Copies of this chain bind each other. A is one copy, B any other.
Amino acid sequence: MEATYIVIMAGGSGTRFWPASRARRPKQFLSITGPRPMIEETYLRVAPLVEDSRILIVTNREHAPLVQEIFSGRAVRILVEPEGRNTAPCIGLAAWHVQREAADAVLIAVPSDHFVSDEEAFRRALQAAAALVRAGGIATLGITPTRPETGYGYILKGAACEPVLGQAVYRAERFVEKPDLETARRYVISRQYLWNSGIFAFTTSTILREIRKHLPRLAEALARLDEGARHGAYEQTLEAVYGQVEAISIDYGIMEKTQEPIYVLPVTFGWNDVGSWQAVHQLRARDHDAARNLTLGDAVLIDVSDSLIYSQTGRLVAVLGLEGVMIVDTPDVLLVGDLARSQDVRQFPERLRREGREELC
């Protein structure tokens, strides 16, 4: 695609995949959705669209060495934030870099830790989004819901627009927060709501203008970065200004406030934000054994069903007579639990932190 850049947002942290993920190695660095780390699978998914030099991976200082290791020998560009400040600053920083080398390029921003089942369909949708916003506005992909998921945000479709490259396009009427179950059911039945994928497209001039309108501290920081870079002091300036910018998501910081037209492109491919071990178990149904177990590592199962076994250690995991459990085996921590309660896994690092056992968090 001409003058298009892709931003892989890799600043996420989280504890829902503890103990496999840690503060020092969050989810996007785990090989849980396939044979490679999620961030690398994300890269491979977008790589056919643009040359490597137009792929920007935004990470923070703590995780930069992991990113550099995974992408060593590739021409992708790694932008290092002094610290993670959520998605709006991440996109602002990427837009700042891109506008310095290309006049009004299109940016496509994608999270580094999501799962997509149909990569071809995914890329076609991104191409349509890029083509659409070249003339202005903001585009986002909306996933057609397949269940009343309460863990995702939703987007209400508005008026239909002209299709682009065969892709249907609507105005986005409204972004809504994670609903309760009853509301989610209504949304799904109505066929008017789509899941908010967190994937956005816009030109650099659009997004930088919106930042100036709605995120003044981020805009100021980017202006000072212009100044610093002119004097060969990019790093020091970034360090000095980044702690002051609004730590806010692109959804809250821009989408809810903008007067620009926002388009939503409904897509139907399988998609998952991979929010828990249970999600991993569900989305990898193709890798299940006959009793619906997902086994990643050396394991012997006797009378076990609907379970997830993930071993990072190479040890043999023997399981006997259980249903619906998760077993996550790491060098210093072993987790065994009810798979249906995988959302509660975060309670362990919280408790360990209170007990002063940071090294296990």
Contact = CB atoms under 8 A, between A and B. Distances in A.
A360 interface: yes
A331 B332 CA distance: 11
A300 interface: yes
Contacts of A337: 318-322
A320 B335 CA distance: 8
A317 interface: yes
A321 B326 CA distance: 11
Given A316-B360, A360-B316, A322 B348 contact: no
Interface stretch (A77-85, A185-193, A288-296, A338-346): A338-346
Nearest to A329: B334
A303 B338 CA distance: 10
A315 B351 CA distance: 16
Contacts of A316: 19, 332-334, 352, 357, 360
Contacts of A302: 344, 347-348, 351
7 contacts: A316-B357, A319-B337, A320-B338, A321-B344, A329-B334, A334-B334, A336-B336
Interface of A: 19, 300, 302-303, 311, 315-322, 325, 327, 329, 331-338, 340-341, 344-345, 347-348, 351-352, 357, 360
